[in-house]
Structure 1
Amino acid sequence: MYFSLQQTRDFTNSFLSKLADVPIELLSHIDIFIIPDFVSLTTTIAQLKSSSVAIWTGAQDCHWEDQGAFTGEVSPSVLRSAGVKLVEVGHAERRSIFGEDDTMVANKAAAVSRNGMIPLVCIGEKTQGDVHIAVEECRVQVDAVMNAVPAEAEVILAYEPVWAIGASQPAGEKHILDVVAGIRGLESVGRRAGTTRVLYGGSAGPGLYEKLKSGLDGLFLGRFGHDPEQFVKTIQEVAEA
């Protein structure tokens, strides 16, 4: 909740302009997504249609029911009708500020998948420390989602150590790769027929993916994504890696 409606429009235009300078063949094997606020969604989707490269638009949250007496909530069915491709659920702020638990996050992920979109599920340990403890904290979160989403559906996991969100530096590369390897090795992930991608977020930005490419499928940017130039630079680095 950082941008005004006009700032989001200006950001998207600037982003598209800078992305046009990147060779289109370089971008043909990666997926790029932007997740604006709800009010800006349809405007952003319309703007992105002018891109020569397919860019997904995501939503930052949704309700677990398609319709009903849930005043103020956002229907996943409506998001799909608007052209949304993926929906972020379970962000650390949703969990800590709004009290969302693993069951609620799993129900939201199932609703996203049920409506033909991809759930982008945020997971991560609360305190910095041992890799095994981190994997176990993540396992509880991941298992809940995988038990709720069809085995053939695509799922994206965004590993964001809570202690690294907003920090001056991301988590250490070895810690990230070791935890992600543990997540990939979970039984609930291994039994799936559908694609499961794992991204890293938490002070992610330019220069990081080259260090993580052996174990990660991509990055999930927060504040570094607010700068179109830094965003495009990161996209190019991921594409080249």
Structure 2
Amino acid sequence: MSKLVAGAHEAVADVGDGASLAVGGFGLSGVPSVLVHALLERGVTGLHVVSNNCGTNGRGLGELLAAGQIARVTGSYVGDNKEFARQYLAGEVELELIPQGTLAERLRAGGCGIPAFYTPAGVGTLVAEGGLPWRYDADGGVAVASPPKEVREFDGTPYVLERAIVTDFALVRAWKGDVHGNLVFHASARNFNPLAAMAGRVTIAEVEEICDLDPGEVHLPGVFVQRVLALGPEEAADKPIEKRTVR
């Protein structure tokens, strides 16, 4: 059964206000920019985004952030996105900042049907003890702080309990894919895209090249993907570099 959709707006037509989204990408590598831009044009608001970072100023999720369409972010890195930092410190957006490896495993666990897991990452810090500022008020005070988490010892080592992440939708970008939703990711685009795809109840993939795949090269099976958007040549070639370094 083909999962191809006719266009980006059709692919995200049922993403409504307040929806939660797991979004693939690492920096600007592997970001589903065509699907993100379709959400920008639809004007949906109050989005809860789960992603390693929130794009850069004017690119990727940074587009939605600048338009005021994101209400909450679960991520690992604010980075050089000055607008993200400004909105967070001004109390305009809520941020759950968590260790990068924990974020990856929370997404994977959600896709595997594992409700929670124990990890040593964050033990003895505010990650476990609570008190991380999730949202500031207009005066710079902490309006919402993270709650404490359960800590348990195994063989004499303390571990913190982390909940899995499952979102309403997931948006990912793949290098190659077939009409059934089986996907292959290129290089560092594989960092978070497969994990984000697993966590979404409805996963939408924008794919640079639609082709037949050898089962042995598939990184993510089509069972995790509900919709496939074939990108045009210009869309597939649009791969901005976050930080260009030359000799």
| TM-score interval, normalised by the smaller of the two chains | 0.3 to 0.5
Task: Tell me which protein shows more strand as a share of its residues.
Answer: 2
Task: Tell me which protein shows more helix as a share of its residues.
Answer: 1
- TM-score, normalised by the number of residues in structure 2: 0.35
For CA contacts below 8 A with separation 6 or more, give which structure has more relative contact order.
Answer: 2
- TM-score, normalised by the number of residues in structure 1: 0.36
Find the structure with the greater CA-based Rg: 2
